Amino acid sequence: MVMRRSDLLEHLTHSCEKFGMRVFTPDGSDWPDALVLDSKRGVLAIDVAEGPVDPKDRTSIVALNRKIASLRQDISEVADLPLKRRVLVSGSSVGGAVLLGSDELADGSWVAGWLDSDVSADLLDGFERKLTPALVFPTIPMRSISDEGADERAGYRLRLDARQSDIATQSILDVAILSGPPGSGKTLVLAARARWLARNNPNWTIQILCFNRLLVPYLLNLVSDQPTVRVSTFGRFAHSLGHRIDLSEETRADSDLRKAELQGIQPSVDAILVDEWQDFLPAWTKFALKTLRPGRGGALLAGDHDQALYRDVNVPKALAGRSVHEIALDQPYRCTMPILRVAAALDSAFTIEGIDEAPEGEPVDLVWAETPIAQADAVATDVYLLLADGRRVQDIGILVTYRRHLGAVCRALEARDIPFQVVRNTEADAYQRDTPAVTVMTVHSAKGYEFAAVFLVGLEGLPQPDSPENAHWPRVGYVGATRARDQLVITYSKDSYYLNRLRALPTYTRRWTWPDDYPVEA
């Protein structure tokens, strides 16, 4: 009986496991169906034949050779590794030089024909890092049928590239700082590293920390297949170890840290990963690092100075006496190029690396309405039109710069019978990202989240950055704008420093007036 392709691959995996070999089954058709890695022999590239194969017919091996050529283009390490190739067939191989029969898998005789070679451990490890499934996330991306190219961008955003994979799997002796623009994959790299460490060190305790309580469920989802990875806010983490560190004021937090040090902070975790590190007080970082067991997974701290809404991290104070390695990501994936152009234009202090390499998308819509209540009506109408055009309701986020805008927005959605959920930081545990409802939240609560379509309300009310105490306000607009993946709509009722800067970008923005420019039937 001819075995199915999936059964043959499962058969191959079981056979390899007996001999301590690792099997990878890459997605897509550009690479071989399976890649077997062995520390003494190198790499075995395998294609699975759907039916009987004539040993004299080279069609299947030619197809495999082309896939190997594609693999070498994508992952340079494989070119310097010993590589064999086989076409896996059901039953006996019938003497074909490049054929491997399932009968040989069963008795293990196929290994005898794969001779030992001079294998570079470093090259093999580098090759494995770029194949490991810990770096491809099982999360189902939010999808939209109304935005051209959205599906392709969604898949692109959930797979780590070679640079990100290297960061996620590298050795960190003490502390590494990971920086990068919005949507460059910092959070995915953290989660991928946590999963990779957990998979390779099943007895380790791995801790992910974040500032925003609303981020906890999202991060938990990214590591849900690894039970040894824990996720919590810093406050809950410290409390779980029997300590209290102040969560708002730096001087009090420093004092609490000294008390904790006198009581004794026991090393209890094997790796620390911090998301949104730019909002951490120095005492929080010091406390977290003291919980690390030395010589294990170290600490990876990810953040972006331009997204700091609460404070600027004092790096020298937080990391005094530590061995620090700095890593920078420079390729934005999440936001389209017009969205990034608009976010960067909000203030001259913002510079987004790799902006020209971001995916293309629709221009950002600037909608003028006479009053804040009219803004809310315009938003509700746009949401109604998006839903009528096929956008999923849970793909939409309405972000307000001030809480006072929440009431008008909610009343406008109710008038349109549009389901919505108001999400506050105090309700983090109840927030379900896939609930079929529009998400309404403040920009501060939205940190770390993303939506296919974002409506940003209240931008014109932010103070101009004309003094040191107002220097952080442009970051509120910056964070709000960069929560959008594919579509961004900014409403306003009056001119402001920010709107004037955005109107100077005619290539990347479109200007509308509510209700004059809206269809009557809306």
pLDDT for the residue 150: 55
Among candidate residues 52, 74, 49, the one with its CA nearest the CA of residue 63: 49
pLDDT for the residue 145: 33
CB 378 within 8 A of CB 515: yes
CB 395 within 8 A of CB 142: yes
pLDDT for the residue 22: 83
Task: With residue 365 as reference, give the H or E element that holds it.
Answer: strand 364-368
For the record, the structure tokens of 179 come out as 């920086």
pLDDT for the residue 484: 95
Whether residue 515 has a cis bond before it, omega within 30° of 0: yes
- Residue 130: phi and psi, rounded to 5, are -85, 0
Task: With residue 316 as reference, give the H or E element that holds it.
Answer: helix 315-318
CB 257 within 8 A of CB 234: no
Q: How far apart (Å, rounded) are the C-alpha atoms in residues 33 and 18?
A: 20
CB 293 within 8 A of CB 269: yes
Q: How far apart (Å, rounded) are the C-alpha atoms in residues 305 and 522?
A: 41
Domains, the chain, ranges and CATH? 5-131 (3.40.1350.10), 162-328 (3.40.50.300), 337-513 (3.40.50.300)
pLDDT for the residue 253: 96
Is pTM beyond 0.75? Reply is no
Q: Write out the chain's pLDDT in tens, 522 residues.
A: 567 777 888 888 888 878 888 888 776 567 898 899 998 999 999 999 877 788 778 888 888 998 898 888 778 778 889 999 999 888 887 666 788 888 888 887 888 778 888 888 888 887 877 776 566 665 433 333 345 555 554 544 455 677 888 889 899 999 999 999 888 889 999 999 999 999 889 999 999 999 888 889 889 988 988 999 999 999 999 999 999 999 989 999 999 999 999 999 999 999 999 999 999 999 999 999 999 999 999 999 999 988 877 777 788 999 999 999 999 998 888 899 999 999 999 998 888 888 888 888 999 999 999 999 999 999 999 999 999 988 999 999 999 999 999 999 999 999 999 999 998 876 666 677 778 999 999 999 888 889 999 999 999 999 999 888 888 899 999 999 999 999 999 999 999 999 999 989 999 999 999 999 988 666
In what order do the strands lie in the sheet containing 83-89?
Answer: 22-24, 34-38, 42-48, 83-89, 99-101
Q: How far apart (Å, rounded) are the C-alpha atoms in residues 248 and 310?
A: 9
Taken in order 79, 82, 86, 91, is the CA torsion positive or negative? negative
pLDDT for the residue 142: 33
Angle at 100 between CA 97 and CA 102, to 5 degrees: 155
Task: With residue 124 as reference, give the H or E element that holds it.
Answer: helix 121-129
CB 364 within 8 A of CB 339: yes
Q: State the amino acid at position 374 in one-letter form.
A: A
Tokens 């390695």 locate to 325
Dihedral angle at the C-alpha atoms of 198, 27, 25, 208, nearest 10 degrees? 0
